[in-house]
């Protein structure tokens, strides 16, 4: 069972009070899938929350996933399908007919249904939509009509809205008697005659207000409304900035189309974090379940770019081959300068990329940030120059020129850390201006610059001083 030790840690993080119990249940699930029939598996699945079952599904090997799918295929929980990672969701939908998928997504909120369908090819998506009831289909098609990663894609069209001239009594009666309202909601939107939102009000405030009170008098007119075309990252920033739980989504005419809730935004934040981490590592959207060839293909491009940049750094070294032949100590010390520059550049780049993503860094304060990183690079360069110079002096004290070696590495260290600070800010800003995601390309280029400058500064100073 060692192969499933990681699953126990996962369940512990999700359910700390029941981690041991969940681990036992998962191990029992594995045993049942390997040794028992469908009836025993189905009976065991009744004790799983859909989130725990989604985690368990992802941890199982593919042959056991197929067996598990056969156990709940006829009564597939829409919440389970939505909770699964994209590649696992595709694995399930590929084993279902268009009608079966349509039956499941018809029970979902419109925003969840859109997320299930958006990654499918158009022909498969249209086939499934043709099996969805007309009313639900219309809501889903509204979301699919908007660009990927936009507020329109993330919104749910099921919401509660009332007229501005309604009073509290009429609103409460409507909420009690109307059968087509969403099962769960926290806020009620107040709209005018054109369907444009003029405010939003919480259920608690409605219940505490006298029945004759008009809705327009007690609604919060400082609501945050987002255009359907707004990118989801910007929506997430608005939720963080204004501590929102709900935001209305409007079309170009200002008409209320749907709403985005805080749970949608949390999902966006998680996706963006994972995406940036993977892109900084140059692995795209690879998952642990990806096949050998798929993983190799996803990693090949950036490894190829890295090979080119490594060759460039080697070409710089080859320019000073005569210098290196005369003193082996230079070859020993070279990686120190390059490594320190690379790490310093990565630190600055990481802070800059994050600041760009959260809108903390704009053209307004770009120069101030650039100046700060220049000073930080210089100060750290001086401190590590002294440290590296002293270490070099005592390391090679048997050489008559140990003092000169210490001075050379100190000077190269200052130059490279200053350049690292500049490159760590300048490159992400430049890529951002060129509409290229800084998280994708910054890392490899910052490392290349610090390697090239580090080698050139160190060997160049050595050539000037020692030859």
123-150: per-residue pLDDT in tens?
999 999 999 998 889 999 999 999 988 9
Q: Can you read off the two tokens belonging to residue 143?
A: 């979301």
Has residue 264 got a pLDDT over 60? yes
- Rounded CA gap, 105 and 98, in Å? 11
Rounded Cα–Cα distance for residues 218 and 464 (Å): 78
Lowest mean pLDDT among 15-24, 124-133, 440-449: 15-24
Per-residue pLDDT at 5: 38
Q: How far apart are CA 192 and CA 244, in angstroms?
A: 22
Write down how long the chain is. 467
State phi, psi for 156 to the nearest 5 degrees: -110, 135
Instruction: Say if domain 2-149 classifies as CATH 3.40.50.300.
Output: no
Helix H, strand E, coil C: the string for 430-442 is HHHHCCCCHHHHH
Task: Say what the pLDDT of residue 320 is.
Answer: 85
pLDDT value of position 19: 58
Given this model, what pLDDT does residue 295 score?
66
Give the residue extent of every domain in the chain.
2-149, 161-280, 292-466
Residue 283 clears pLDDT 70, i.e. is over it: no
SS3 220: strand
Q: What is the pLDDT at residue 279?
A: 65
- Within 8 A by CB and 6+ apart from 106, the residues are 113, 132, 133, 136
More confident of the two residues 22 and 327: 327
Under the banding of pLDDT at 50, 70 and 90, the label for residue 288 is: low
Answer whether 2-149 and 161-280 agree in fold: no
Select 292-466's CATH number: 3.30.70.20, 1.20.1250.20, 1.10.357.20, 2.60.120.10: 1.10.357.20
182 or 287: whose pLDDT is higher?
Answer: 182
CA–CA separation, 95 and 340 (whole Å): 51
Q: Where are the alpha helices (DSSP H) in 106-185?
A: 110-117, 122-129, 134-144, 151-154, 168-177
Distances, alpha carbon 193 to alpha carbons 160, 161, 248, 311, in Å: 15, 12, 17, 67
Cβ neighbours of 116 (radius 10 Å) = 24
Rounded (5°) CA angle 224-229-232: 70
Going 432 to 436 to 441 to 445, the CA torsion angle's sign is: negative
Task: Work out the angle between the directed axes of helices 98-105 and 110-117 (0-180°, nearest 10).
Answer: 150
Q: Which pLDDT score, from 0 to 100, does residue 401 have?
A: 80
Cα gap 265→233, rounded to integer Å = 9
Higher pLDDT among residues 204 and 95, named by residue: 204
pLDDT at 219: 92
Radius of gyration of the chain, Cα coordinates, nearest whole angstrom: 30
Q: E-strand spans in 183-263?
A: 187-191, 197-202, 225-227, 246-250, 256-261
Q: By the 8 A CB rule, do 150 and 228 touch?
A: yes
pLDDT digits (tens, 9 = 90+) for 392-424: 888 888 777 888 889 999 999 999 999 999 999
Given a cut of 50, whether residue 9 has pLDDT beyond it is no
Amino acid 4: pLDDT: 35
Q: What is the pLDDT of residues 216-263, one digit of tens each?
A: 999 988 788 999 999 998 998 899 888 888 899 999 999 999 999 988
Residue 278 φ/ψ region, left for φ over 0, alpha for ψ in the -120 to 50 degree band, beta for the rest: alpha
User: Chain-wide mean pLDDT for the chain?
Assistant: 84
Least confident of 3-17, 184-198, 200-214, 423-437: 3-17
* Paired residues of 261 in beta bridges: 246
Q: Which residue matches tokens 């003092």?
A: 403
What percentage of residues in the chain have a pLDDT greater than 70?
A: 89
Global pTM reads 0.67
CATH fold, domain 161-280, is: CBS-domain (3.10.580)
pLDDT surpasses 70 at 278: no
Residue 34 pLDDT = 87
> Residue 2 — very low, low, confident or very high, per pLDDT cuts 50/70/90?
very low
pLDDT band at 11 (very low <50, low <70, confident <90, very high): very low
């Amino acid at each position: 069972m060692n192969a499933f030790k990681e699953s126990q840690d996962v369940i512990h993080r999700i359910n700390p009070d029941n981690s041991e119990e969940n681990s036992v249940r998962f191990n029992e699930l594995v045993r049942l899938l390997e040794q028992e029939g469908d009836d025993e598996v189905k009976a065991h699945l009744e004790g799983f929350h859909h989130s725990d079952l989604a985690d368990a599904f992802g941890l199982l090997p593919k042959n056991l996933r197929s067996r598990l799918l056969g156990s709940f295929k006829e009564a597939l929980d829409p919440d389970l399908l939505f909770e699964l990672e994209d590649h696992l969701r595709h694995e399930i939908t590929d084993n279902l007919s268009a009608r079966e998928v349509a039956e499941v997504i018809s029970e979902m909120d419109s925003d969840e249904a859109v997320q299930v369908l958006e990654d499918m090819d158009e022909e498969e998506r249209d086939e499934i939509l043709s099996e969805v009831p007309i009313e639900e289909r219309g809501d889903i098609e509204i979301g699919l009509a908007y660009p990927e990663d936009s507020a329109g894609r993330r919104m749910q069209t099921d919401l509660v809205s009332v007229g501005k001239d309604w009073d509290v009594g009429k609103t409460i009666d409507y909420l009690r008697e109307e059968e087509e309202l969403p099962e769960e909601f926290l806020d009620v939107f107040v709209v005018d005659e054109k369907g444009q939102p003029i405010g939003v009000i919480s259920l608690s405030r409605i219940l505490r207000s006298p029945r004759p009170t008009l809705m327009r008098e007690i609604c919060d007119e400082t609501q945050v409304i987002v255009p359907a075309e707004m990118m989801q990252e910007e929506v997430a920033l608005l939720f963080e900035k204004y501590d929102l739980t709900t935001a209305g989504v409007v079309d170009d005419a200002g008409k209320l189309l749907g709403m985005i809730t805080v749970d949608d935004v949390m999902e966006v934040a998680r996706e963006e974090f994972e995406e940036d981490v993977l892109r900084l590592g140059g692995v795209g959207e690879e998952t642990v379940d990806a096949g050998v060839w798929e993983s190799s293909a996803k990693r090949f491009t950036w490894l190829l770019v890295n090979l080119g940049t490594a060759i460039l750094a080697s070409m710089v070294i080859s320019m000073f081959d005569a210098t290196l032949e005369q003193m082996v100590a230079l070859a020993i010390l070279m990686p120190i300068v390059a490594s320190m520059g690379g790490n310093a550049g990565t630190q600055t780049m990481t802070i800059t990329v994050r600041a760009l993503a959260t809108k903390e860094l704009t053209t307004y304060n770009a120069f101030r940030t650039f100046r700060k990183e220049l000073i930080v690079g210089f100060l750290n360069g001086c401190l590590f120059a002294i440290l590296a110079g002293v270490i070099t002096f005592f390391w090679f004290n048997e050489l008559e020129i140990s003092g000169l070696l210490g001075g050379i590495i100190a000077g190269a260290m200052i130059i490279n850390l200053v350049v690292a600070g500049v490159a760590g800010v300048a490159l992400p800003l430049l890529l951002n201006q060129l509409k290229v995601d800084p998280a994708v390309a910054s890392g490899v280029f910052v490392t290349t610059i610090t390697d090239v400058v580090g080698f050139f500064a160190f060997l160049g100073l050595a050539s000037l001083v020692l030859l």
